[in-house]
Amino acid sequence: MAQTKEPVARTLPGSLETNRRLERWLCINNDGTVTVTPGKVEIGQGILTALVQMVAEELDIDVMRIRLAPATTAFSPDEGITSGSRSIQESGLALRHVAAEVRSLLLEQAAQKLGVTLENLSVSDGVVSARSGGSVTYWELATADLLAREATLDAVAKLPAEHVVVGTSLRRVDILGKITGKAAYVQDMALPGMLHGRISRPPGPRARLKSIDLKEVEQMPGVVAVVRNGSFLGVVAQREEQAIRAERRLARIAQWDAGEPLPDNDPRRLLTLPAESEVISEKGDAATTGEQQFSAEYTKPYIAHASLAPSCAIAQQDGGKLHIWTHSQGIYPLRGDMAQALGIAETDIIITHAEGAGCYGHNAADDVTLDAALLACAVPGKPVRVQWMREDEFAWEPFGSAMVMRLNAALDDNGNIVNWGHELWSHAHSTRPGGRGGVNLTAAWHLEKPLPAAKPGNPPLPGGGSHRNAIPLYEFPNQKVTNHLIRESPIRASALRSLGGHANAFAIESFIDELAEAAAADPVEFRLRHLQDARAKAVIEKVAQMAKWQSGEKGDGERGRGIGFARYKNLAAYMAIIAEVKVEETVRVERIWCAVDVGQAINPDGVINQIEGGIIQSVSWTLKERVDFDRQGVTTRTWEDYPILTFVEAPEVEVALINRPQAPPVGAGEGTQGPVSAAIANAIYNALNVRLRDMPFTRERIVAALSA
């Protein structure tokens, strides 16, 4: 088979560069199967199916032969955190290279065995045949030491034109168990002798436990242990409902010091706080003035991941070792923080991943893992399953930060943007485990000898954190973009799907529409004229065509349509969205069209599934969601306090993929968040002539805007 003759890269692809041993990634078994052991984990996005396809493709085997081993610190490669839509680039490209290299190692063995040259061999589903006759299988050729070596730069993967498995919509490998009620999640694991734990959290992030009499709870039915360490309070019981009852009693009798009151919950408060300010893009003369000057301010509130299953982990102390099962997105960084919090060696902690419900960023998966470990240490030998209650999850998960964006621009006589300014204020978007100089796990901050949290930070540009997607992709002669970072947040903030990209793209794309109107231009045409990037233009043109966009179209006082666009992180997927809204009592998003370019789509239907999900979640964020807190703590603690989009409200969504098999594959899960919010804001303006700049677009906000 023809192989690529491209010049070889000097570094190995993806996570292979830092995890070079072949045997850590996959194993050819004598029973005709292949075990793949990626360090990235399934978080509901279907990544494992895509990885299976990439491996099957390079090895020339049927996908059914592939077994996936859960990621574990016992042997999986350290791939950091599964986030940022980077799994295909990092894990996928590593596995593609490993599989290509393993294939060539196997072919060398086969050539020797069959006494022919490599050119005379072909492979079909693991059977290597010589043109002159004779064959041997991978399963016969594989020896224990064949893969015991480092990857080299020699392996060459197939050309996209040769792909037969990659690029097809293989069905999800994990769907059957999920729809037949099998144990599919860490929440469903049951180990022999397993006990149930619950944690009694403080009433708010600054509260400290003053006093509690543990005796009456210790005597409750089924209670095995009550654990208090400083302000960390938990209970272990025989049965789950007994643990819940005991926790409720703890909550009733504990005496807390409230601590300093929390400030007002208003995103604009960010403008009043001391910030670290940095100009992240400057072009031309930002002070240039055009004919007409414009400015606008946009905000978003704190929002929650609100995964459907509260976080859960199981821990068991056994001899000197601590065994953990968790739905963490990063088992190695978590292990490091756990070791610090527990004061034990990293090598004595074995963390194995087990899937949880949908994960959209840094939720409470890591926190509950330390909770389970602290309780397990009180009952040595016994596995302890800790599940957070819904109210805990809503109150204690890390949130997507509130943000403020101030934009300004000038138009020249021809209605072109000659000057662009974007300032943003935000808390840091990453407080995951693995930070420097502290431990990022809730329970660690509540211990009698509390461990400080690591300094909150942002991933660096070009991907960025709060400044993700703050630099416009449009070409303006003069521009200045400034990031004002306020690291500490009154309620914990961390990574949520697209980080600052959501709010920045919302602001940019809303403002572009405001400017288009001032320039008396059609918003689609106005965008196209300020873009150079052909792939960007292609998704915008495509979505306009899908929605049959009419130049200059105007809503009718009730219905309207609007557009939004972004290239995720300015370096990954291109997404263009058109939303159609109907505004009556509330805003209803009825339809969404989306055109997207993710480069090479490994599994087109999987990509579309993720994009549909991102779109609906963003509709929900935009119309309904806001985390509330009072002086003491978070007050949105149930689905009634924090409603999300329902089946009655869900829009119709149509997604078109512009497939580019020659372009590198990039992730799809996050890029729609900002464009959707902007498209909705623009559609509401199109319908009603009122501009909403503060999310969420609730009924109250519409009414207020209409009467302003």
Partner 1 sequence: MALTLQVNGRARTVEADAETPLLYALRNDLGLVGTRYGCGLGMCGTCTVIIDGKPVQSCDVPVSAAVGKNITTVEALAAGDDLHPLQRAFIAEQAAQCGYCASGILMAAKALLDVNRNPTDTDIRKALERNLCRCGTHGRILRAIKRAAEEMRKA
Binding site for ligand FES (CB under 6 A): 44, 308, 357-358
- Contacts (CB under 8 A) with partner 1, residues 370-389: 387, 389
Q: How far is the CB of 93 from partner 1 (least distance, A)?
A: 23
- Contacts (CB under 8 A) with partner 1, residues 28-47: 43-46
Which DSSP symbol is given to 222?
T
48 binds partner 1 (CB under 8 A): no
Q: Output the CA angle 227-228-229, nearest 5 degrees.
A: 125
Q: Measured from the CB atom, is 44 or 333 closer to partner 1?
A: 44
615 binds partner 1 (CB under 8 A): yes
Q: What is the DSSP string of 45-111?
A: S-HHHHHHHHHHHHHT--GGGEEEPPPBTTTS-----S-TT-HIIIIIHHHHHHHHHHHHHHHHHHH
Q: Output the CA angle 21-27-33, nearest 5 degrees.
A: 165
Query: Is residue 604 exposed (0-12), middle (13-18) or buried (19+ Cβ within 10 Å)?
Result: middle
612 binds partner 1 (CB under 8 A): yes
* Closest-CA residue to 372 (of 361, 384, 359, 364): 384
Q: Measured from the CB atom, is 584 or 647 closer to ligand FES?
A: 647
- Contacts (CB under 8 A) with partner 1, residues 202-221: 221
Could you tell which of partner 1, ligand FES, none binds residue 64, using a CB distance below 5 to 8 A set by kind? none
Q: Output the CA angle 439-445-449, nearest 5 degrees.
A: 100
178 binds partner 1 (CB under 8 A): yes
Residue 684 host element (H or E): helix 673-688
Q: How far is the CB of 179 from partner 1 (least distance, A)?
A: 5
- Contacts (CB under 8 A) with partner 1, residues 224-283: 239-241, 244
Q: How far is the CB of 390 from ligand FES (least distance, A)?
A: 7
Could you tell which of partner 1, ligand FES, none binds residue 128, using a CB distance below 5 to 8 A set by kind? none
Q: How far is the CB of 356 from ligand FES (least distance, A)?
A: 10
64 binds partner 1 (CB under 8 A): no
Size, binding site for partner 1 by CB under 8 A: 62
Member of 34, 207, 209, 309 binding partner 1 (CB under 8 A) = 309
193 binds partner 1 (CB under 8 A): no
Task: From residue 587, give the alpha-carbon distance in Å to each of 611, 618, 627, 692.
Answer: 22, 14, 20, 12
183 binds partner 1 (CB under 8 A): yes
- Contacts (CB under 8 A) with partner 1, residues 648-667: 648, 650, 652-653
CA pair distance 516, 702, nearest whole angstrom: 22
Could you tell me which residues come within 8 angstroms of residue 17 by beta carbon, excluding any fewer than 6 positions away? 11
Torsion sign, CA atoms 68, 73, 78, 82: positive
307 binds partner 1 (CB under 8 A): yes
Q: Is 541 helix (H, G, I), strand (E, B) or coil?
A: helix
Could you tell which of ligand FES, partner 1, none binds residue 182, using a CB distance below 5 to 8 A set by kind? partner 1
* Beta carbons of 14 and 91 less than 8 angstroms apart: yes
What is the CA 504 to chain-centroid distance, rounded? 17
Q: Measured from the CB atom, is 196 or 693 closer to ligand FES?
A: 196
Q: Which stretch binds partner 1 (CB under 8 A): 126-134, 173-181, 415-423, 504-512?
A: 173-181
Q: Measured from the CB atom, is 21 or 390 closer to partner 1?
A: 390
Q: How far is the CB of 134 from ligand FES (least distance, A)?
A: 49
Long-range contacts at 447-456 (CB < 8 A, ≥ 24 apart): 447/229, 447/230, 447/231, 447/232, 447/341, 448/229, 448/230, 449/230, 450/230, 451/340, 451/341, 455/487, 456/427, 456/428, 456/430, 456/431, 456/487, 456/488, 456/489, 456/493, 456/494
- Amino acid at position 471, single letter: I
Q: How far is the CB of 619 from ligand FES (least distance, A)?
A: 15
Q: How many Cβ atoms from other residues are within 10 Å of residue 277's Cβ?
A: 11
Q: Which stretch binds partner 1 (CB under 8 A): 246-254, 306-314, 574-582, 658-666?
A: 306-314
* Closest-CA residue to 527 (of 595, 583, 591, 584): 595
State the angle between helix axes of 604-624 and 501-518 in degrees (0 to 180), rounded to the nearest 10.
80
Member of 117, 180, 211, 707 binding partner 1 (CB under 8 A) = 180
185 binds partner 1 (CB under 8 A): yes
610 binds partner 1 (CB under 8 A): yes
CA pair distance 484, 411, nearest whole angstrom: 26
Q: How far is the CB of 613 from ligand FES (least distance, A)?
A: 8
Member of 605, 628, 659, 661 binding partner 1 (CB under 8 A) = 605
Q: Which stretch binds partner 1 (CB under 8 A): 97-105, 149-157, 181-189, 226-234?
A: 181-189
Q: How far is the CB of 613 from partner 1 (least distance, A)?
A: 4
